[in-house]
Amino acid sequence: MSVANTYSPNITWNAELYDTKHNFVSKYGEDVLGWLEPQEEEQILDLGCGTGELAAKIQASGAIVTGMDDNLKKGGRLVLEMGGKSNVKSIVTAIKKAMASEGLSDKLSNEFWFFPSLSEYTEMLERQGFRVTSAVHFDRPTKLEGENGMENWIRMFGGFFFSQITTAESETVIKKAVEYLRRDFYKNGAWYADYVRLRVKAVKV
């Protein structure tokens, strides 16, 4: 069951890079398990399970975990965390600025992430037959791994920005974007991404 007719950009997935440089996704996701409160022998459907680390933690609680798309029975609980409105806004702005400085604004891809506001997403869930019981929209500056953390993040998650330009052009744009971001997002030898999260708990009615 789809909760919204949204479009996701075509991101080339590098599992090794995700596991070694971006495992903060799973680590931060551990906190949402407190909302889920998995019970012994309870059947849990894990959607978008990534490397499976959270699924393993759910299973360790005694619950029975299935990683698959996409069904929830009446009375079932939906607990999710995703990018919310203004998520990585500074990174996006820096990439657009760098492309403009190279005269490449007309080559900017039309593909893009969907980061809804709290009200937008809860309304979508309600239209699809959910009753939202808890929802929060919060800033979570997120430390990136290593000296090249920002560059690696852009390559991992933002490659679709450069789908209409050459490899050489994309390299230049990435380097410029990183430098634009350095003043505000490189602190005490570490890079930070301006993550904004949306966390929701809902029940299928």
Confidence class for position 35, pLDDT limits 50, 70, 90: confident
Residue 88 phi/psi, 5° resolution?
45, 35
C-alpha distances in angstroms, 91 versus 86, 97, 100?
10, 10, 14
Check residues 2 and 174 and name the one with the higher pLDDT.
174
Name the CATH code of domain 15-204 (choices 3.40.50.720, 3.40.50.150, 3.40.1280.10, 3.40.190.10).
3.40.50.150
Q: Tens digits of per-residue pLDDT, 56-91? A: 888 998 999 887 657 678 999 999 999 999 999 999
If you compute the radius of gyration of the chain from its CA atoms, what whole number of angstroms results?
18
